[in-house]
Structure 1
Amino acid sequence: MPRRTQVGIIGCGPAGLFLAHLLARAGIDSLILEARSRAAVEGTIRAGVLEHGVAALMQELGLAGRMLRQADRHAGITLQWRSQRLHLDLAALTGGKAVTVYAQHEVLKDLVAARLAAAPGSILFEAPARAVEGIEGDHPAILFETAEGGAGRLDCDHIVAADGFHGIGRGAIPASIRQEYGKTYPYGWLGVLVEAPRSWPELIYASQGDGFSLLSTRSPTVQRLYLQCDPADPVEAWDDARIWRELGSRLATDGWTLTQGKIFQKSVIPLRSFVCAPLRHGRLFLAGDAAHIVPPTGAKGLNLAVADVLVLSRALSRAIHRGDASGLDAYSDTALARVWQAQRFSAFMTRMLHRDPGETPFDTRLREAQLEQIALSPAAATALAENYVGLPFPAED
């Protein structure tokens, strides 16, 4: 028997879950279809740096209890080059704002648990969406496969594809009107999880030696570290000795030693940028990674997804409760304006901190001059800090 809801959501990632909670607050029913199991959704380890506004929204929605107990609030970051370190006081530069270091999979655990507690059955796991239909009319539907392998149908008033870069949603927008912009960077990140205490009180973004490195954290006893690498490198090419040697070189500075420990997880991720436009076709809307990808250097992926669905939830509420579709009509342009600012910042951080394979000594000095400008200019430091803690969400009309 077909199911029915007001807003059908494809994907149980940050975009889909935040949207479901925002819609519930507005008195709008939704149902999430997720291809993976709950364990897979909650067990996919991904780092998370939450912008000031995203952490505040979690508190506003009543979803921040565990985050407030366990996460770290960071009011500063450190930039490093030529073995010198620059502390950027984010709070002082932005009027008291900070970021919250809280892993994305922990955010998902909190949102899934809260959603199912409030509305049992509002997330269908192991229910991959196969197609959408009727998006140019008044009665759209999502065709999906049930956990038992049968055919399912979800009739709804609106469909939101929050199903990631490889999902089906984006392809439902006709190629004749869909524009895609992308860039693949010539380097990737090797990410490792380490059983060790913290070596530094805040994140260090370093560019020296053979390229970029990032000293991040997961908990008081588990640290997350990244190294620039060839995106084609197999994980096996990086044994523990090589990892510690490179981290030691790229993070070296006088009077400080990196604390080592047991490396228990390694992965190589590519770096790319991607934007799709428009984000709407008929009654289908794109949000999150289905619409855009950013390199992780700027820590904007999850945060952009939340900004998308905040705008979209307001527009859906106005359309459903008041019959006013102006917000839906403006959604794509409104969301993309912020997306492109985040793309600009992410590309700026990526180019400034990474060593290009074909880089000349002149190129290296130009990158270092950018870092020196941040040290010398309060205006440059403020611009970086404002973008890092998060630009304001689009204002509600």
Structure 2
Amino acid sequence: MVEGRSRTRRQVGIVGAGPAGMLLGHLLRQHGIDVVILERRDRAYVEGRVRAGVLERGTVDLLARLGLDRRLRREGLVHSGTVLSVDGDAFRIDFAALTGGATVTVYGQQEVMKDLFDAAETRGLDVVFGAEDLRIEDVETDTPRLRYRRGGVDHVVDCDVVAGCDGFHGVSRAAIPAGVLETFERVYAFGWLGILADVPPADGELIYCSHARGFALASMRSATRSRYYLQCSAGERVEDWPDERFWDELCLRLGPEVASRVTRGPSFEKTVAPLRSFVGEPMRHGRLFLAGDAAHIVPPTGAKGMNLAVSDVTMLGEALVDFFEEGATAGIDGYSARALARVWKAERFSWWFTGLMHRFPDTDPFARRMQVAELAYIRGSRAAQTTLAENYVGLPM
């Protein structure tokens, strides 16, 4: 092994090559800002993670602005509404009619990452994979520093700004002192058991199902690939859910009308994902700025995870461009408050929608009747449907 040291200087050092880090890198690179993105894992791992699949209008717009939407426009599935089901009785929420034409697009996060990585290679965006033992130093000065080890070489990157985009378990949030950082968290007593199967979806739009036995979601990744979820206990093991048991329970919760359109087939991926709500604030400390899951987590019910990261990146990118091009500090000084204002609204929607659609350990007959009554109210109220639609397609940034 060759031992050595390397020292470089960049305007912005980005920690994490997930959606937040890569999108921020592309946005800053578009403005000629010198960026390096450091990622602990390899490209195959980051690109292979199965995550979000519903893109808000703002996310689609940003990808278009960056010239990264060619495949999205060709392969993405545009949805103008969604379906809510109560014990098998379904009704539709028409996003487009309720929000002046706004839609969402189904396009998996894996595909977004592939587009981001492919474009990085052609555009000369510097992404370093396999950056181990990464540390963030001196964030309270004007020259924060990143240290990491790769290939037997110790590297130091001197920066003007560090952007922490390395997810919930990354090192970035931990670089904010405990006396400065305040956290807010709700851990749910259940998870989502999800499968992917190469079978056509049961419907042209997503179906969110509230059932006495628990939540279910009928989703998709393409016209030939389906993504289905069941609410399960937090400690559930995928080994206890053979395909036949999963399909039987899914069809029961979806109800006979939708179940008749479910095409069964072997799953090629099966996972259990825990659910939590989390916010860490502030999202800026000195020259360190947090974005995406490094600062907040939402339960997946509201389809806000990656979209919220995009919102952060859009605001942070604008602020950093002003800082480097004009020397203006108003944007970076106001970033945390501006981002958190939208974060908390997304947290509220995801928390509300999760509470409405899931069965909690303390959901007694009275609480279940309240869920059913609220869904009945939404079904009959254009105002209630508009509130849901506005939040789902994405609030203004």
Shorter-chain-normalised TM-score: which range?
over 0.9
Question: Are the equivalent residues in 2 in contact too, given 1:46–1:104 (CA < 8 A)?
Answer: yes
Which segments of structure 1 move beyond 6 Å, counting only runs of 4 or more? none
Q: Which runs of 5+ in 2 are unaligned?
A: 1-5
Alignment partner of 1:185 out of 165, 185, 188: 188
Question: Equivalent residue of 2:114, what SS?
Answer: helix
Q: Which residue is equivalent to 1:336? A: 340
Q: Which runs of 5+ in 1 are unaligned?
A: none
Q: Which residue is equivalent to 1:44? A: 49
Q: Which residue is equivalent to 2:135? A: 131
Map 1:159-174 → 2, pairs under 5 A: 159-174=162-177
Alignment partner of 1:2 out of 7, 19, 25: 7
Q: Which residue is equivalent to 1:63? A: 68
User: Does residue 370 of structure 1 match 2:394?
Assistant: no
Q: Which residue is equivalent to 2:349? A: 345
User: Does residue 216 of structure 1 match 2:227?
Assistant: no
Q: Which residue is equivalent to 2:90? A: 85
> Greater CA deviation, 111-120 or 56-65?
111-120
Shift of 1:128: 3.2
User: Does residue 391 of structure 1 match 2:395?
Assistant: yes
- CA offsets, 1:296-329, max 9 Å, x none? 0000010010110111111111111111111111
- CA offsets, 1:151-208, max 9 Å, x none? 1111110000100001001011110111000000011000001121121110000011
User: Does residue 119 of structure 1 match 2:127?
Assistant: no
Shift of 1:261: 1.3
Question: Equivalent residue of 2:289, what SS?
Answer: strand
Shift of 1:10: 0.2
Distance 1:93 1:288, change over 3 A: same
Amino acid at match of 1:268: V
Q: Which residue is equivalent to 1:305? A: 309
Shift of 1:129: 5.3
Shift of 1:252: 0.9
TM-score with structure 1 setting the length: 0.96
Question: Equivalent residue of 2:230, what SS?
Answer: strand
Question: Are the equivalent residues in 2 in contact too, given 1:33–1:128 (CA < 8 A)?
Answer: no
- CA offsets, 1:21-59, max 9 Å, x none? 111222211110001111111112223110011111111
Map 1:315-334 → 2, pairs under 5 A: 315-334=319-338
Question: Are the equivalent residues in 1 in contact too, given 2:183–2:278 (CA < 8 A)?
Answer: yes
Alignment partner of 1:27 out of 28, 32, 35: 32
> Greater CA deviation, 21-30 or 151-160?
21-30
Cα distance in 1 between the residues matched to 2:365 and 2:218: 25
Cα distance in 2 between the residues matched to 1:254 and 1:4: 61
Q: Which residue is equivalent to 1:94? A: 99
- CA offsets, 1:87-119, max 9 Å, x none? 111111111010010000110110111122101
Question: Are the equivalent residues in 2 in contact too, given 1:84–1:253 (CA < 8 A)?
Answer: no
Q: Which residue is equivalent to 1:240? A: 243
Cα distance in 2 between the residues matched to 1:194 and 1:283: 44
Amino acid at match of 2:130: E
Alignment partner of 2:58 out of 31, 53, 60: 53
Shift of 1:256: 5.3
Cα distance in 1 between the residues matched to 2:347 and 2:257: 34
Question: Equivalent residue of 1:157, what SS?
Answer: strand
User: Does residue 357 of structure 1 match 2:361?
Assistant: yes
Shift of 1:392: 0.9
CA RMSD of aligned residues (A): 1.1
Question: Are the equivalent residues in 1 in contact too, given 2:87–2:254 (CA < 8 A)?
Answer: no
Distance 1:326 1:129, change over 3 A: farther
- CA offsets, 1:219-269, max 9 Å, x none? 222100000000101111111221111101100144751221111210000
Cα distance in 2 between the residues matched to 1:210 and 1:255: 16
Q: Which residue is equivalent to 1:287? A: 291
Cα distance in 2 between the residues matched to 1:25 and 1:370: 46
Question: Equivalent residue of 1:6, what SS?
Answer: strand
Shift of 1:358: 2.3
TM-score with structure 2 setting the length: 0.96
Q: Which residue is equivalent to 2:3? A: none
Alignment partner of 1:72 out of 74, 77, 82: 77
Cα distance in 2 between the residues matched to 1:67 and 1:39: 20
